[in-house]
Amino acid sequence: MRDIELSSLVHPTVTQSHLFNQLSSLLDKAMSQFTASTDIVEYCAPLLHRLIEEQGEDVAALVERLVWPKAGEQSYARRRLMESPDGQWSIYAICWLPGQYTPIHDHGTWGVVGVLSGCLFEHQMACIQRDETNHLYRLSPAGVTLLSKGAVNTFVPEPDHIHRSGVPQSGEPTASLHLYGRVMTHYHAYDLEQGTRQRLDVE
């Protein structure tokens, strides 16, 4: 995956909006009240859903200020918008044009994803054979979830959620907001045919 130049993806005043003030307060409160990943995502998911519904103007402003990939580019655009001083949480915006997908990957943490516009396709993977000694990770497709505007999805790292997300060629431009339990500077990408995975370092 190639990340698009970060400085061009969003207007710098976006994260000063009421939406982001509420998001940072929400995440700080979640981290202070809960330690289990399942409790954190259960707390954050309905509140993110409510914010997307109630803060329509801020959501529209965020989507408007995102710079989308140019037509014909293979890579989607990923932008870190905010993170806590201690690195306990981070917020990213990701946008796709039709035909753009993430690699198959995991996260190593919890996550809450809300769709801001369009329709996000999530292809889940089941790990049917895991041999860390020989670096073997056999995956099998385990279903597809369609997340339309306003929908919220979650995952936890026990066991780690393995999937790929994006938009099929027949879809529409899509933007989503991702809350994570760490700063996502790396993750594992999986090769479905070879049954292998590798660490990818990203911004």
Place of tokens 């001083």: 85
Whether 91 has a pLDDT exceeding 90, the answer reads: yes
What pLDDT shows up at residue 111? 97
pLDDT (mean) for 56-84: 89
Structural domains in the chain, CATH included, are 6-183 (2.60.120.10)
pTM: 0.90
Region class of 67: left (phi > 0), else alpha (psi between -120 and 50), else beta: beta
80 to each of 69, 170, 179, 199, how far by Cα in Å?
Answer: 16, 27, 10, 19
Sign of the CA dihedral with 39 first, then 119, 168, and 23 last = negative
The pLDDT tens digits of the residues spanning 138-193 come to: 999 999 999 999 999 999 998 889 999 999 999 999 999 999 999 999 999 999 99
User: With bands split at pLDDT 50, 70 and 90, how would you rate the model's confidence at 7?
Assistant: very low
- pLDDT grade, residue 10 (50/70/90)? very low
Q: Which of 162, 56, 63, 60 is nearest to 111 (CA)?
A: 162
Mean pLDDT of the residues in the chain: 90
Crossing angle of helices 56-65 and 18-33, in 10° steps, is 110
Question: Which pLDDT band holds residue 15 (cuts at 50, 70, 90)?
Answer: low
CB 163 within 8 A of CB 153: no
